[in-house]
Structure 1
Amino acid sequence: MIETVKVFKKFTWYHVPNMTSDDREELVITHHLTSEMIGYAVDNNEAVRMEYDNSADESLMVIDVISYHDEAVETRPVGILFAHGNLYTFSHDVTDYIQAVLLDPQNRQKRHDDTEISAVDFVMTGLYSLMTRYVEQVTEINRKRRIIQAQFGQQKRTTKQMNELLRLQTQMIYIQNSLANNHVMLDVFKKDFQKTLLTFEIEHIDDVRVEVGQAEHMANLALTVINSISDAYGNLSNRDLNWTMKVLTVYSIVLTVPTIVSGFYGENVKWLPFADAISGWWVTIVITVLLMAAVSLLLAINGFFRK
């Protein structure tokens, strides 16, 4: 359904959540939008970029925003289309919250009166709030990472902890990539529209770019730390595996001694010491124990029991 969210003096804002075929037809016939631009705007896998159709007077901004799921936080593109003097926003279920954010952005920028604000400035004040959500998510991921990191030193590492760390690592990759693409797109947007925008509108674009840059720096640092912890975990796991293999090797060597001793006495070889004695069985046990102790001592001296 195409929602007429708000009518400003300079433009009208239309919001299209989960666009249907009827919505597409209405946008093409009634609003005179091009089908190509609409397709780019609603593509859930569209790359972050600016797309222009000068002949149709359409400029499309595709930007990544945080998408919230039950188990994870990822990023998804939303389409923001400036066409024929009006503003069109396109979203899906996981990104439909952008309508509320654009209507009431919680940021430090001073909003102009509805009779004066332009479509570009309106979008930028909303994007500021949308970009601050990246900082919030990076901060939350860092909090979860610190909990996992603290557990490594207090208890035995588990597969659950490693899986959780891997999940955080995956989320950070999504966030880092989206922030980098958003930064480039905003640079392109400022360059393309710099001659037609007012000074305060350019300043608002710069504010959003600074916020994205800050979030990008935080994301890069957070991902570096998570990767370092993952590498450290892998090294510790390899060390534990090496220690386990070393212990098994030592035991296999030590337990070879009873096999050798019993093998000799089991072959009925003549002239073996104590082979014909009544207490020969106990003697072989003593010999076995002494040889096992000697082998263990030799291995200990050579450092095989050091972790």
Structure 2
Amino acid sequence: MLTPIEINNRFEWVDVQDENDSEHQRLIRSYKLTEEMYGYATDPSERARIEFDKDGGISLIIFNVITDESPEQATAPVGFLFKGKRVFTFTSGDTNYVHNLVINSSSSLKLPVIEEQEPIDAILGLMYKLTTTYLDKINAIDRRRAKIQQNLKINPEHSAINELMDLETKLVYYLTSLKANTSMLQDLQRTPVVPVNDDQREHITDIVVESQQGLEMAQMASEVVERVSNAYSKLIDNNLNNTMKFLTAYSIIMTVPTIVSGFFGENVKLPFETHQFGWQITVLIMVLLGFAVYLVLRHYKFFDR
């Protein structure tokens, strides 16, 4: 879907969302985009970076954003393409929520005081919003981790390991994307593919600061989640060891009656075989020997946790 939005007399914003083949051809023929730059802008595996096609007069910024609750991955690239008096945003699937941010941003750009806005101003404003969403998501993960940690103190559950694993996976995506975004923004400061003035350069600096803050938060949250996960794994291992110790002790103690009863089950002459209370004496021997084994195991602190 192509949504052209007239911002002001300086530029037009074209929001490209899940385009089909005919819209693809329209972008190439009517808007004069190149297949190469279009491919970069729509590649779901593209890394965050800046690209410039001098012959086509096209500048491209690839920016990693948080996906809309995707179960497969937590981040995905979005393409911001500049050509002439137009700026294009390319989203698809789990990044289509960016469309609403584009519409909201374009609405605010129509205010009279923003009549002098350039395309780069619109993209920088959008990138700032997208960067702050990382901070919100990381804070939400940290709150979830704290809740899981508190529950583990009360009632350790094996299901918690899956939740912690999901949190760790998301944080890995966030860390990777924030690192790539920060590097790209720093490159944009040094060698902008789009001319920027001092105010715009300062805006880029603000986004870099937010991205670095998110990176630090994600690193700290990742370390905490990893430590909680390791502690939980150790707790599970300790519980398993205690269970195995109990089963081992139980099997050792129960082996004694089996041995005694096995002897008396043989077809040979044994003590108490003809005694009036032979069966009771045999049971007493089993109990005494079992109790003796228990005392030995207890002496060596086999039952201590």
Counterparts of 1:267 and 1:64 in 2: how far apart (Å)?
Answer: 78
Q: Structure 1: which 5+ runs fail to align?
A: 106-110
Equivalent AA in structure 2 for residue 84 of structure 1:
G
Alpha-carbon offset, residue 194 of structure 1: 8.6
Q: After superposition, what is the alpha-carbon deviation per residue over 1:147-200, rounded to whole angstroms, capped at 9, x for unaligned?
A: 111110111x22322212211221111111111111111111111129942111
Three-state SS of the structure 2 residue aligned to 1:90 is strand
Q: After superposition, what is the alpha-carbon deviation per residue over 1:208-251, rounded to whole angstroms, capped at 9, x for unaligned?
A: 01001111111111111111111111111111111111111111
Counterparts of 1:219 and 1:90 in 2: how far apart (Å)?
Answer: 26
Q: Structure 2: which 5+ runs fail to align?
A: 106-110
Equivalent AA in structure 2 for residue 147 of structure 1:
K
Pairing 1:192–2:191 present: yes
Quote the residue 2:219 is aligned against: 220
Equivalent AA in structure 2 for residue 150 of structure 1:
Q
Quote the residue 2:77 is aligned against: 77
Q: Are the counterparts in 1 of residues 34 and 56 from structure 2 also a CA contact under 8 Å?
A: yes
- Aligned residue pair count: 300
Counterparts of 1:178 and 1:70 in 2: how far apart (Å)?
Answer: 15
Quote the residue 1:204 is aligned against: 203
Alpha-carbon offset, residue 123 of structure 1: 0.9
Within 5 Å, give how 1:160-171 maps onto structure 2: 160-171=159-170
Q: Are the counterparts in 1 of residues 52 and 193 from structure 2 also a CA contact under 8 Å?
A: no
Quote the residue 1:142 is aligned against: 142
Within 5 Å, give how 1:1-307 maps onto structure 2: 1-69=1-69, 74-104=74-104, 113-155=113-155, 157-193=156-192, 196-270=195-269, 272-307=270-305
Q: Are the counterparts in 2 of residues 145 and 165 from structure 1 also a CA contact under 8 Å?
A: yes
Counterparts of 1:193 and 1:124 in 2: how far apart (Å)?
Answer: 12
Deviates more, 1:82-91 or 1:129-138: 82-91
Q: Are the counterparts in 1 of residues 11 and 85 from structure 2 also a CA contact under 8 Å?
A: yes
Quote the residue 2:108 is aligned against: none
Counterparts of 1:34 and 1:124 in 2: how far apart (Å)?
Answer: 24
Counterparts of 2:112 and 2:294 in 1: how far apart (Å)?
Answer: 83
Compute the TM-score of the two structures, normalised by the length of structure 2. 0.92
Q: After superposition, what is the alpha-carbon deviation per residue over 1:249-297, rounded to whole angstroms, capped at 9, x for unaligned?
A: 1111111111111122222444x43232111100010011011001001
Closer, same or farther: CA 160–69 of 1 in aligned 2, 3 Å: same
Counterparts of 2:152 and 2:84 in 1: how far apart (Å)?
Answer: 58
Counterparts of 1:263 and 1:114 in 2: how far apart (Å)?
Answer: 96
Compute the TM-score of the two structures, normalised by the length of structure 1. 0.92
Three-state SS of the structure 2 residue aligned to 1:176 is helix
Equivalent AA in structure 2 for residue 172 of structure 1:
L
Q: Identical aligned pairs, as a percentage?
A: 36
Three-state SS of the structure 1 residue aligned to 2:67 is strand
Counterparts of 1:123 and 1:296 in 2: how far apart (Å)?
Answer: 75
Counterparts of 1:72 and 1:22 in 2: how far apart (Å)?
Answer: 29
Counterparts of 1:215 and 1:165 in 2: how far apart (Å)?
Answer: 20
